[in-house]
Structure 1
């Protein structure tokens, strides 16, 4: 069961409320045990949190987060989803159609603790909140396809870092880019196929150039542009559009392929060509083989802009 930490205004939680599910879960748990001590952590956390508006998670609440729980730490903050710890094989097998050399060798990555990931790529609504607060260097981004819930595009790596610094200062918690291995991990969401939804892709799954099919998949119409960030079904971790639509920055410096020194614990690779950083996810105007879970691309940190998704490390057991 997933829970949503959507924090209500003071005085809004009552015995009949069904809002803010994780808080609701704790609140119900406390109610269900009338004899429980008032020092019970779940009761205490729920009682404190029920009086608060949207704000940073307290240590008590953060420690109770579970996979698929979600939260927002300010009114203008992106919605975050808790992704479970786990282990996976990063890279692509030699028999995966249309793979590239840079996707090997396959190697195991183990992420020992849950972490939080933006449910969506950063939207222009998110970006404009930063601009309105005199953050993000006044960089407007590429909005020829619109703003609002459209993904923020035209954002180079250095500009994405400005947003992360603004958000971290606003909340008082550290927000960051995902590492390349974290990005592949939460894209796959426990799957081993080229896409989280299987061995082929259609325009019902993602936004890409469908005139170039993948494997035995069908031909389809080419995309005319990016779409709003909550389009298409989410993957098993609850994350939207991890394939296609817009490329997303990761923290990793560019490397042509994985090596024996590639981090195996989810950390970013921060050696080599750091003027170029790894991009993941593909784009609306790229072919199907370039939106696979294992596909790697790179871009100059101060060059042409793309988009990004945020991550927050959690203090959880």
Structure 2
């Protein structure tokens, strides 16, 4: 895991950002009073299978979709199954692990940047794993991805986190809300009001186009669907 520094950022996307969707506004400031720790990588099948071998995770094997396990991202994981892994890990380590909030996910994806991607205004197949035949903005065409990549593929962002854009969607703790409003938390906590049969997922996936990989893109998914996730831990430090 890596420590993400405290700070603030403007959550959401500006009206002029290419291919943005309704629901990514209004832009609002979110402030993190304390640093927090984040998994450097998406949870891999190696880690998921360790939970299974120890009798945890409810015997849920996930679904590698034929792409293999090992250091590949754990896929086919429902929201509740992800929570069962976090409960197992917390018992095993003796510290409390959790999913990120939606604002934490966008904050550590951006890593101090304001562009659609942490590496700039556009994306290529050298930056992320996605359907690169559909360009983003003035970016180039590229070959479509043939499947997910191992979790330490591609360079890390300035916070040291790998593949925050593309490869696999990751769960956040937040319930689904169509757009931000006056009830949206501004302290980095999860938004637990709204339609909680759906949860917000972030990051995009290998077989979707680049506009859904952007730092500000929001996807509301039924909680029983199979996605991926990474872990977060609140740090016991003074603000």
Q: Which runs of 5+ in 1 are unaligned?
A: 1-79
Matches within 5 A, 1:278-293: 278-293=200-215
User: Which residue of the partner structure matches residue 95 of structure 1?
Assistant: 16
**Within 2, Cα distance between the matches of 1:100 and 1:157?**
24
Alignment of structure 1 residues 138-177 onto 2, 5 Å:
138-143=59-64, 144-177=66-99
Distance 2:237 2:217 in 1: 31
Q: TM-score, normalised by structure 2?
A: 0.98
Match of residue 111, structure 1, among 32, 35, 47: 32
| Bigger helix share | 1
Q: 1:194 aligns with which of 107, 110, 116?
A: 116
- RMSD, matched Cα: 0.5
Q: CA deviation at 1:121?
A: 0.2
Unaligned runs of 5+ in 2: none
Counterpart check, 1:219 vs 2:158: no
Q: CA deviation at 1:300?
A: 1.3
Residue 301 (structure 1) shift: 1.3
Measure the CA separation in 2 of the matches of 1:207 and 1:223: 6
Q: Distance in 2 between matches of 1:101 and 1:145?
A: 33
Q: CA deviation at 1:256?
A: 0.2
1:237-276 residue CA offsets vs partner (Å, 9 max, x unmatched): 0000000000000000000000011000000000110000
In structure 2, how many angstroms separate the alpha carbons of the residues matched to 1:219 and 1:173? Answer: 45
CA distance in 2, matches of 1:152, 1:158: 14
Aligned residue for 1:230, secondary structure, equals: coil
User: How many residues align structurally?
Assistant: 237
For residue 275 of structure 1, give the secondary structure of its aligned residue in structure 2. Answer: strand
Q: Find the partner of 2:50 among 116, 119, 129.
A: 129
> What's the CA shift for 1:89?
0.1
CA distance in 1, matches of 2:42, 2:51: 15
- Tell me the distance in 2 between the aligned counterparts of 1:205 and 1:275: 33
Q: Are positions 1:269 and 2:178 aligned together? A: no
Give me the TM-score of the superposition, normalised by structure 1.
0.74
1:1-317 to 2 correspondence within 5 Å?
80-143=1-64, 144-302=66-224, 304-317=225-238
Q: 1:215 offset after TM fit, Å?
A: 0.5
**Partner SS for 2:47:** helix
Deviating 4+ runs (over 4 angstroms): none
Could you tell me how far apart the structure 2 residues matched to 1:105 and 1:298 are? 17
Q: Distance in 1 between matches of 2:131 and 2:158?
A: 24
3-state SS, counterpart of residue 181 of structure 1? helix
* Shift in Å, 1:316: 1.9
Higher RCO, 1 or 2 (CA under 8 Å, sep at least 6)? Answer: 2
